[in-house]
Amino acid sequence: MTSQKTAYPALAVALALSLGACGKEASIEPAAPQAPTDESAAQAAAAAAPAPSTAMAPMADDVATTLPKSSMDMIFSTPIQTLDGEPSSIDAHQGKALLLVNVASKCGLTPQYADLEKLQKEYAAKGFTVLGFPCNQFGGQEPGSAEEIKEFCSLTYGVTFPMFEKIEVNGPGRHAIYQELTQVKDAEGKAGDIQWNFEKFVISADRQTITRFRPRTEPYDPDVIAAIEAGLPKAAM
């Protein structure tokens, strides 16, 4: 009996302690910081580093090409009539930086005439001219006569730069000037046929380089301007 009476108080004490513990939230000691592993350190460094830019670096749209002297001579010396029917050649504009462009009056790119004329006015005094070559090979978008083309260009866009007779730039009837120009490679390294209206070739005043720009490259594209300015007569720079 004595042993049973002694056990009761001890049991009560243990029960009380247990109940007290249930009435309180367990106390959790914060875990000691762990030294970062190599993998976690690398992940943290990557997260802290600035995100890489998604903007693409500007790409040049041009590649200057040097043609054989015989090809360049052919471009300049081949006879061609002006839009007014007068005999002429590219040689009439020797000593200038040139932008040669096949044009059309009824094309979605026809508004490029405005900027071509703007280039003419901005750079003519520095030794530069645009030369236009009407062509009806792309969608039949230059169907008019020489007089109609001249009137359209003058009244619609105030064109003052020289215009030549309507010619073919592709196929078996390709004009001799374009036989040589189509050897020039574009920015992707592709030579060959003219793609559409308003393909452009910038020839340096010293006749050393030709830079080719495909039709959708606007006249005031930075690469076109760079080619023009690099090709101006040295005395004008």
Q: Using alpha carbons only, what angle is made at residue 17 by residues 16 and 19, rounded to the nearest 5 degrees?
A: 65
Pairing of strands 210-213, 64-65: antiparallel
Contact residues for 191 (Cβ-Cβ < 8 A; gap 6+): 182, 183, 184, 185
Cβ-in-10-Å burial (0-12, 13-18, 19+) of 55 comes to: exposed
Q: Which of 22, 107, 135, 153 is catalytic?
A: 107
In the annotation, is 107 catalytic?
Answer: yes
Instruction: Output Rg (C-alpha) for the chain, integer angstroms.
Output: 38
Q: Which residue in this structure is represented by tokens 């120009």?
A: 181
What the block records as the tokens of 186 is 């574009």
List the alpha helices (DSSP H) in the chain.
Answer: 2-22, 38-48, 69-77, 112-123, 146-157, 176-181, 222-231
Which positions are catalytic? 107
